[in-house]
Amino acid sequence: MDRFQHYIDGEFHTASAHFASLDPATGQPWAEMPDASAADVNRAVEAAHRAFLGRAWSGLTASARGKLLMRLADLVQAAAPRLAALETRDTGKIIRETSAQIAYVAEYYRYYAGLADKIEGAHLPIDKPDMEVWLRREPVGVVAAIVPWNSQLFLSAVKVGPALAAGCTVVLKASEDGPAPLLEFAKLVHEAGFPPGVVNVLTGGPEAGKALTTHPKVAHIAFTGGPETARHIVRASAENLSKTSLELGGKSPFIVFDDADLDSAANAQVAGIFAATGQSCVAGSRHLVQRTVKDAMLARLKAKAEAVTIGAPDQMTTEVGPLCTRRQRDRIQALVDASIAAGARLVTGGKTPEGPGFYYPPTILDCTDAPHAPAVQQECFGPVLSVVAFDTEEQALEMANDTAYGLASGVFTRSLTRAHRMIRGIRAGIVWVNTYRAVSPIAPFGGHGLSGHGREGGMAAALDYTTVKTVWLRTSDDPIPDPFVMR
């Protein structure tokens, strides 16, 4: 089997312990991954801290940092086929998506390369005539970037890109589920010429995660994952008061009014729930449809779900591949079964297939008579769509906001005024109107509630990795007046 290495302080290291990574299409081991110990994590953080203070990185101009990021972007684009094949092998995500997504990831690094020398301070028109006061934006320090297995090149780019642009250093921890593409990405960091310690890449289980999030030299923890893990991270960060930014997924409403283009809405809903086998934080898993067109939408969605090509993830014809892990498939089956027991009607799918691999079919549940079924309330993280009918716009808005999450949402209507009312009323960090699952490095991404806090993408992300220093310069040559009075 292939054996991967950690990347710490500019060098590749063979770990003292390894674990087998399973191919989700077969359920069989295909590679050995390094299992970071607390000592490995400490070495990585110490290296990042030295690099942050060292002149090889801190002495670079912002423009020079941008050029390194631009070099990294070019390398990512050139290596996209190799990275995509690794992600498909290690996570089961279909090759037609990993290929396109990783090629686009290069644009995120290009965006932050261009932004590196646009992070500006400010001059303050202070109310004291003998003072000049200005603000400097400076990097916060060592960033712990913790990403899950799904869309990991993208989810690391929206952390690593802005952190490096701001002048921080990074310890990037890949999920122990499917870490191969990020461990391979470390080779591109090395080739791009970043000074040793600026970017460190490792993977491992709870021991590594705890060591990283409690380390006293970590200034900022950027995490994507689930709320339960996030709660542990927040508790761990309290000891050192590390800053946190959390992107925790969602239970996103996909709202279709009776004046919508139903064919377009159906296509977008397929993209929103069955693409990536539903393993997406912005999955439009709650289909809220106006009752007058519910039957028409259900017919379209059922036909499309049953026409999806399920197969090996490394084939370009495949549209839905396996789930990443067996435990996730088992959890989804339990949620579907519990929802049916709670009154949901199975429209299609809903049964784990026989054979190897962690496959699960596109599944639709009509939950109109069971609006509080588990599949409606809980993030499934799989190809499961819950359909609930509504009658009025007010009811649709109430149902859309009836969740502890607040990441994404979709609205399909031809009415411009209704679209604006829904945009104002929906409590979510993203509202897509007559489209779904669109992203750009220019647009901030994030939510609130159980979907977390902080933003990734855009200028907002780069500023999040900075701290403001206020500088006071006295311009008078006269002696300082009464030293016992603040002035």
- Give me 407's structure tokens: 């990441």
Catalytic residue among 46, 97, 247, 319: 247
CA distance 321 to 312: 6
Give CATH for domain 253-433: 3.40.309.10
Residues near 452 by Cβ (< 8 Å), separated by ≥ 6?
230, 245, 246, 247, 248, 407, 446
First-to-last C-alpha distance (Å) of the chain = 69
Q: Does 191 qualify as catalytic in the annotation?
A: no
Q: Characterize 255-275 residue by residue with b for buried, 16 or more Cβ atoms within 10 angstroms of its Cβ, and e for exposed.
A: bbbeebebeebbebbbbbbbb
CA distance 51 to 144: 14
As a whole number of Å, the CA-based R_g of the chain is 24
Q: Is 307 within 8 Å of 272 (Cβ atoms)?
A: no
Reduced to 3 states (helix: H, G, I; strand: E, B; else coil), residue 473 is strand
- The architecture in CATH of the region 2-247+457-471 reads 3-Layer(aba) Sandwich (3.40)
Q: What is the pLDDT of residue 239?
A: 85
Q: How far is CA 260 from CA 167, 291, 412, 464, 475, in A?
A: 46, 13, 5, 38, 64
Q: What is the pLDDT of residue 392?
A: 98
Q: Is 80 within 8 Å of 99 (Cβ atoms)?
A: yes
CA distance 437 to 118: 28
CA distance 460 to 445: 9
| Alpha-helical regions (H) of 54-179 | 55-58, 62-91, 95-115, 152-166
Q: What are 252-262's pLDDT values in tens digits?
A: 999 999 999 99
Reduced to 3 states (helix: H, G, I; strand: E, B; else coil), residue 255 is strand
Q: What are 183-210's pLDDT values in tens digits?
A: 999 999 999 999 999 999 999 999 999 9
CA distance 301 to 413: 18
User: For the chain, what's the residue count?
Assistant: 487
Does the predicted TM-score (pTM) go above 0.75?
yes
- The number of angstroms, rounded, from the C-alpha of 320 to the middle of its chain's C-alpha atoms is 20
Q: What is the pLDDT of residue 327?
A: 94
CA distance 297 to 31: 43
Q: Domains of the chain: which residue ranges?
A: 2-247+457-471, 253-433
The ranges of the chain with pLDDT < 70 are: none
